[in-house]
Structure 1
Amino acid sequence: MRGTVLAVSAALALAFTAGPSLAKDQGAAAKTFITKAIQGNMAEVSMGQLAQQNGQSDSVKQFGQMLATDHGAANQKAQAVAQQMGVQVPTEPSKKQLADYNKMQKLNGAAFDKAFAQHMVADHKKDIAEYKKAAKMQGDPAGDYANQTLPDLEKHLQAAQQLQKGGGKSM
């Protein structure tokens, strides 16, 4: 009997010490996610604007407009979540995102359309995976934001895949 009480006490002590640790890990993951989400939204707005300037097809330009609009709205929500969580709001996309933009900026016309569609498919697949992971953070503002934003990202992926199938010509 005494051994059982000790085992239960040890298990409870372990559970209580693991609980805050898990919460800290989720909190750190949420802060990292919301920071990356803001950077991603800024990058998508810029890419959307670039598509409107450098794209050849109307479909690429329309997709660019949709990106700029949707990710601009998503970024306002993400920034509010970051402030609520006490996370410093980034002021520019990541170095990789800036490099991708600079690379795309050098293209025009059909070459831009093809590269843009390809980039958007890959980028949105990666983003959807990250947002699905973050969406599992129950009761966390970052998790709620991820859940709310996923449908738009999935819509963007479908549109980008249509652009890619059409060689950047149709949506």
Structure 2
Amino acid sequence: MHTTYTYPSLIAFAFAALCSASAVQAAERADTQPVSAEDFVEEASAKGIAEIEVGKLALEKATSQEVKDFAQTMIDDHTQANQKLGTLATQKELAVSDDAELINQAKAMVLKMRGEASFDKAYMNNQVMAHQQTIALFERASQSKDNEIAAFAKETLPKLKHHLQMAEEINGNLPEQ
């Protein structure tokens, strides 16, 4: 039996494999390695940029008003958090990311390839996963020896956990594709 794969299905498969590998690596890091201030600032700012960019895409492509409202909240909240993080990074002479990390760029690409009918579910699935990973990063950073980084992470965690709760609820209300 010969199976034919389309380009979009291969991209989706590669994306799923990347996400799985990324989640495993993040879990291993969470158990074994504290995050440095430099790594935290770079990774957190990249994740924030990705949230903003994918949120803008969701404003254009989502069909559900609830999903669009969530996307606008992501844009607003992550813009504000990145501004605070940028100020903190400047004070500490640390570099922030100027572009979303590669995996989040891949997620955005896959979301762009999805048809209008399944975009909402794809976006919300992405948001659940992205917020789980971001929460793990911020929890590690909350244990940082750098008091300002730890304070920023602790201050931001409740909002991130609320985002995850919102994403899970919206995702659960959307029809399976």
TM-score (norm 1): 0.78
1:148 and 2:155 matched: yes
1:157 and 2:148 matched: no
Partner of residue 130 from structure 2, selected from 123, 142, 145: 123
Gaps of 5+ in 2: 1-32
1:88 and 2:88 matched: no
Deviation at 1:108, TM superposition (A): 4.2
Q: Which residue identity does 2:70 align to in structure 1?
A: F
Larger radius of gyration: 1
Tell me the SS of whatever aligns to 2:36: helix
For 1:110 and 1:145, locate their aligned partners in 2 and report how far apart those are by CA, in whole Å.
Answer: 38
For 1:83 and 1:140, locate their aligned partners in 2 and report how far apart those are by CA, in whole Å.
Answer: 15
- Conserved in 1, the CA contact under 8 Å of 2:42 and 2:96? yes
Match of 2:55 in 1: 48
Deviation at 1:89, TM superposition (A): 2.2
Going from structure 1 to structure 2, the CA distance change for 1:168 and 1:157 (only over 3 Å counts) comes to farther
- Conserved in 2, the CA contact under 8 Å of 1:44 and 1:67? yes
1:57 and 2:81 matched: no
Tell me the SS of whatever aligns to 1:136: coil
Aligned residues: 144
Going from structure 1 to structure 2, the CA distance change for 1:164 and 1:151 (only over 3 Å counts) comes to same
For 1:71 and 1:148, locate their aligned partners in 2 and report how far apart those are by CA, in whole Å.
Answer: 13
For 1:61 and 1:120, locate their aligned partners in 2 and report how far apart those are by CA, in whole Å.
Answer: 13
1:167 and 2:174 matched: yes
Identity %: 29
- Conserved in 1, the CA contact under 8 Å of 2:37 and 2:146? no
Match of 1:114 in 2: 121
Report Cα offsets for 1:63-94 as digits up to 9, x if no partner.
00000000000000111111112112221111
